[in-house]
Amino acid sequence: MIPDPILIVDDEPDLRIPLRRSLEADGYTVDEADGADSALAMLALKRYAVIVTDLFMPGGPSGLELIASVKIKAPDTLCIVVTGFASLDVSINALKCGAYDFLQKPFKVVELEAVLDRALEYARLQQQLRAHQENLEALVLERTGELQAFHQEVLNLNELLLEAQGQLDEQPLLEPFLVYLKTRWVLDAYAFFTTDENGGWSRLLASGFRPWFQAADLPAPPKLQEPMEWTWKAGYPDGHLVPIQWGEHLLGVVYLGFDKRNAFHPQDPCFLFWKAQVEAALHGLRCARTHAVFEVAKALGWE
- Segment 158-174 shows an average pLDDT of 83
Alpha-carbon gap, residue 278 to 276, rounded angstroms: 5
Residues 117-159 have pLDDT tens digits of 998 888 888 888 888 888 888 888 888 888 888 888 888 888 8
- The full set of domain ranges for the chain reads 2-131, 165-299
Longest dimension (CA), the chain: 116
Residues 268-284 have pLDDT tens digits of 888 999 999 999 988 88
Residue 90 has pLDDT above 60, yes or no: yes
DSSP letter at 223 equals G
| 8 Å CB contact between 30 and 24 | yes
Tell me how far CA of residue 101 lies from CA of 10, 32, 50, 173, 193, in angstroms.
Answer: 17, 19, 11, 74, 75
Residue 31 has pLDDT above 90, yes or no: yes
Q: What is the pLDDT of residue 226?
A: 58
Residue 79 has pLDDT above 60, yes or no: yes
Q: Is 105 helix (H, G, I), strand (E, B) or coil?
A: coil
Residues with Cβ within 8 Å of residue 115, at least 6 apart in sequence: 80, 101, 103
| 8 Å CB contact between 16 and 10 | yes
Q: What is the pLDDT of residue 21?
A: 92
Residues 218-263 have pLDDT tens digits of 777 766 665 566 544 567 888 888 888 888 888 888 888 888 888 8
- Segment 18-38 shows an average pLDDT of 91
Q: How confident is the model at residue 180 (pLDDT cuts 50, 70, 90)?
A: very high
Looking at 3.40.50.300, 3.40.50.620, 3.30.450.40, 3.30.1340.30, the CATH number of the domain 165-299 comes to 3.30.450.40
| 8 Å CB contact between 49 and 4 | yes
2-131 topology per CATH: Rossmann fold (3.40.50)
Q: What is the pLDDT of residue 302?
A: 57
| 8 Å CB contact between 227 and 266 | yes
What is the rounded average pLDDT for all residues in the chain? 82
Tell me whether the CATH fold assigned to 2-131 matches the one assigned to 165-299: no
User: Which residues on adjacent β-strands are paired with residue 53?
Assistant: 9, 81
Alpha-carbon gap, residue 140 to 229, rounded angstroms: 34
**Prediction pTM value:** 0.54
